Amino acid sequence: MSVDSDIAIDVRGLTKFFGAKKVVDNFTLQVARGHIQGFLGPNGSGKTTTIRMICGLLTPDSGEGRCLGYDIRRQQEEIKRYVGYMTQGFSLYRDLTIRENLEFVARVYGLEAPEDAAQAALERLGLVARADQLAGELSGGWKQRLALGACILPGPSLLLLDEPTAGVDPKARRDFWDEIHHLATQGLTVLVSTHYMDEAERCHQIAYIANGRLLASGTIPEIIASANLSTWVVTGEGLDPLSSQLKRQPGVDMVARFGSALHVGGRDEAAMERVAERYSAEGLHHWRRDEPSLEDVFIDLMTRAGADQ
Amino acid sequence: MSTQEGLPRVVPRPARRGALAQSWQRFVAMFVKEFIQLRRDRPTFAMIVGIPIIQLMLFGYAINTDPKHLPTAVLTGDDSPIARALIGALRATDYFNIKYVARGEADADKLILSNKVQFVIQIPPDFSRQLIRGEKPGLLLIADATDPTATSGAVAAALGAANQALDRELTGPLASLAQNAPPYEIRVHRRYNPAGETRRNIVPGLIGTILTMTMLMYTAMSVTREIERGTMEALLAMPVRPVEIMLGKIAPYVVVGAVQMSTILIVASLLFQVPVVGSLFTLSVLTLLFIVANLSVGYTFSTVAVNQLQAMQMTFFFFLPSMLLSGFLFPFHGMPMWAQYTGEALPLTHYLRIVRSVMLKGSNFGDLAVDAGALAAFTLVAMSVAVMRFRQTLD
């Protein structure tokens, strides 16, 4: 059972308080083996806390769950053996060389030939030439690659990646995601938190959390459909004053600037249509009906979550 | 007009002070920031007040360079009233606390080697007969002179007391004996340090003090450093157990400690001519035990402290009584009982007995079993606390 079960993450009703503050509220999620699960939400929404509960670093105040078939409350030791957790900040030893860091990880996981495993990881990462450089001297992108390399070195069944691409350039981010997909095709399950929409779109499934509560979950089409948002794309001159005006209009739930265009959306289709007709009749801007994008939906979710507080 | 001034401002630029006032303002900014940070760190704040108070208490109450009631054994082959009166007179000086009656010279040596007594009063078997015959018999006062400060007062008092000791006994036909100088002589035998050199006492003590300071510092930082550098979370997410972390963090410093010990020993014998009378093997094994005890204490601090500053202060907090209450600087038996009990709970106290005894007196494992046992117990307790305190989760 356990490591080979089809559901890699199966948590129900996870709740965590920090003092009086409810940081995670009744969080439920299932992730199938080999899937890439995106985890989105604003800063401070409880993503890191949730990830820590899944890998046994935090004990939930209520709720239960299994990670790779192991109980997250009682079998943390087993979970640690098969889960690679990449923390938000760089958490390898800066004053150790790249090779020394990898050998440390290999030994901690009890690998039979730690030197060989580290060498193999160096080759995989393309870091053989820089193996003896201190890890702290690497650039942001390389640090992140090394951290991922260290996570997968012991051959985990599940990867938990907490904002792995924060502060990393677009090319490195792209390579990173190619690598994640490559790992998933080999049967590795990945839970990755991110703020980037293009990254979210590369996930098989997405969970959106705000104020500790799961607001949306599913595939991208499912999430877009369930949001029930009618959107228009507005182009023309003077979009900024228009934006502040529209935000006050009844029926408009979401206004967001995308490059040279304004995305305007509302959940009440009829009301939104009236707004669109009135403004396009003024002839100052060009209004065009469009399918809502994932980002439109998230901005709407975030606006609503903000209004709740 | 610069181009900056020409641009419309979203945020108006607030008025600024003059150059000198700005410098003052920057100083105030730093001052206020530092003060706030200091105030937020509660334990540090507590120690600002705590350290001076404790230091004063220790210096003020615990330190006495003229210790009395020193543990003493009596070895006598003569149970006559004269002998008893003599012992009574020595006891009346308040310097000698007669705790043991030795059954023979070997027994008396054992008591000194195992640090149970600092003095042995030896009265030969036919002391009173020789005295009555006017043969001026000798009374032997054997002093453990490894700490000359601790014994000099007692020796002087013994010599003074002996003059009048027998005045009451020597009456009637024996009155003539009480006339001039005492009818016997006190011979003082300062063992292990006949010249009363302070460095013979201080240098071995320094081994213990230096090791305490360095060893505590090494491990006190070890866990807080992981937390402050952000490596702790990743470490906790790996399948490594608290005991493994602890032992892995302590072990390298045992090697460091061994190097330090050898360095101090070599310098001690080359520069200060302090001999190693006992076995070097005994000394090394027991010193390693002491090193491990200190590393465990440091590691325990590390699991309790929130940041490196706190860990530093805990180290200092532990080091201070170690210096003052262990018998390193001031005689152990000169301290009030509460200070002696506190001292017994410090590893340095036991190690000082060990290192001085092995180096100067040649004591062996058997003599030092109690102190070695205390160090081992200390290590076990500290390690258990550390493992229990070590949080495996981030809760």
**B8, two tokens:** 């419309």
Nearest CA in chain B to A160: B237
pLDDT in tens, B42-79: 777 777 888 788 878 877 877 777 888 899 999 988 78
Q: Which of A103, A85, A158 minimizes the C-alpha distance to B236?
A: A85
Give the HSE-up count for residue A297: Cα atoms under 13 Å, Cβ half-sphere: 26
Is A36 in the same domain as A152?
A: yes
In B, which residues are within 8 Å of A52 by CB distance?
394
Assess whether A91 and A213 both reside in one domain.
yes
Burial group, residue A67, by CB count within 10 angstroms (0-12, 13-18, 19+): buried
| B2 confidence band (pLDDT: 50, 70, 90) | very low
- The CATH architecture one would assign to domain B70-191 is 3-Layer(aba) Sandwich (3.40)
Q: Which two tokens stand for residue A96?
A: 């150790």
Dist CA B279 CA B368 (whole Å):
13
Token pair for residue B333? Answer: 């038996």
**A111 pLDDT band (50/70/90 cuts)?**
very high
Q: Is the pTM of this model over 0.95?
A: no
A71 lies in some domain: yes
CATH of the domain at A151: 3.40.50.300
pLDDT in tens, A250-275: 889 999 998 899 999 998 999 999 99
| pLDDT reported for residue B8 | 61
B233, B394, B395 member nearest A91 (Cβ): B233
A156: nearest CA in chain B? B238
Q: Per the structure block, which two tokens stand in for A51?
A: 């990830």
Residue A283 sits in the same domain as residue A139: no
Pairing between β-strand B70-76 and β-strand A62-67 as defined by DSSP bridges: unpaired
pLDDT tens profile B287-320: 999 999 999 999 999 998 888 888 988 898 899 8
Query: What single-letter DSSP state applies at residue A280?
Result: H
Same domain, A193 and A286: no
Q: Is A59 an interface residue toward B (CB < 8 Å)?
A: yes
Residues A284 and A141 in one domain: no
A171 in the same domain as A198: yes
Instruction: Give the pLDDT of residue B9.
Output: 65
Q: What is the CA B212 to chain-centroid distance, rounded?
A: 10
- With beta carbons under 8 A apart, name residues in chain A contacting B230: 87, 89-91
Q: Is the pLDDT of residue B330 over 90?
A: no
Considering its fold, how many domains does chain A have in total? 2
Distance CA A207, CA A192 (A): 10
Chain segment B3-32, per-residue pLDDT in tens: 455 556 677 788 888 888 889 999 999 999
Question: Do A41 and A210 meet the contact criterion of CB atoms below 8 Å apart?
Answer: yes
Q: Crossing angle of helices A239-247/A269-282, nearest 10°? A: 150
Q: Residues for chain A: how many in total?
A: 309
Of A4-13, A225-234, B214-223, the poorest mean pLDDT is in: A4-13
By the 8 A CB rule, do B183 and B166 touch? yes
Identify which has the larger pLDDT, B172 or A35.
Answer: A35
State how far the Cα of B11 lies from the Cα of A302, in Å rounded to an integer: 28
- For residue A160, tell me if it sits in a domain: yes
> Is A119 a domain residue?
no
With left for phi above 0 and alpha for psi between -120 and 50, is residue A44 left, alpha or beta?
A: left
A284 part of a folded domain: yes
Stated as kind and residue range, the H or E segment containing A85 is strand A83-86
A66: in domain: yes
For residues A251 and A186, state if they share a domain: no
At CA A130, angle to CA A95 and CA A147, rounded to 5? Answer: 60
Predicted interface score ipTM higher than 0.90: no
Indicate yes or no: CB of A87 within 8 angstroms of CB of B234.
yes
The answer to whether residue A81 neighbours chain B at the CB level (below 8 Å) is: yes
Nearest CA in chain A to B231: A91
Q: Is residue A240 within 8 angstroms of chain B, CB to CB?
A: no
pLDDT band with cut points at 50, 70 and 90 for residue B178: low
What's the CATH code of the domain at A235? 3.30.70
For residue B324, give both structure tokens.
Answer: 């003052």
Cβ-defined contact of B239 to A77 (cutoff 8 Å) = yes
- Average pLDDT, rounded, for chain B: 86
Residue A122 lies in a domain: no
| Nearest residue, CB atoms, B239 vs list A59, A80, A87 | A80
Start-to-end C-alpha separation, chain B: 58
Residue A56 near chain B (CB below 8 Å): yes
Its domain, for residue A34, covers 2-95+134-223
List, for residues B231-274, the tens digit of each pLDDT value. 999 999 999 999 999 999 999 999 999 999 999 889 888 888 88
Domain borders along chain B are 70-191, 198-389
Cα A259 to Cα A169, A193, A248, B148, B375, distances in angstroms? 20, 25, 22, 87, 71
The minimal CB distance from A55 to the residues B229, B230, B237 is found for B237
Q: Which residue of B has its CA nearest to A59?
A: B395
CB pair distance less than 8 Å for B230 and A58: no
Whether residues A174 and A139 share a domain: the answer is yes
Q: Check residue B147 and give its pLDDT.
A: 83
Judge whether A28 and A194 are in contact, CB under 8 Å.
Answer: no
Tokens 């980002």 locate to A295
> What is the pLDDT at residue B289?
96
User: Using the 8-state DSSP alphabet, how is residue B365 labeled?
Assistant: T
* A238 shares its domain with A218: no
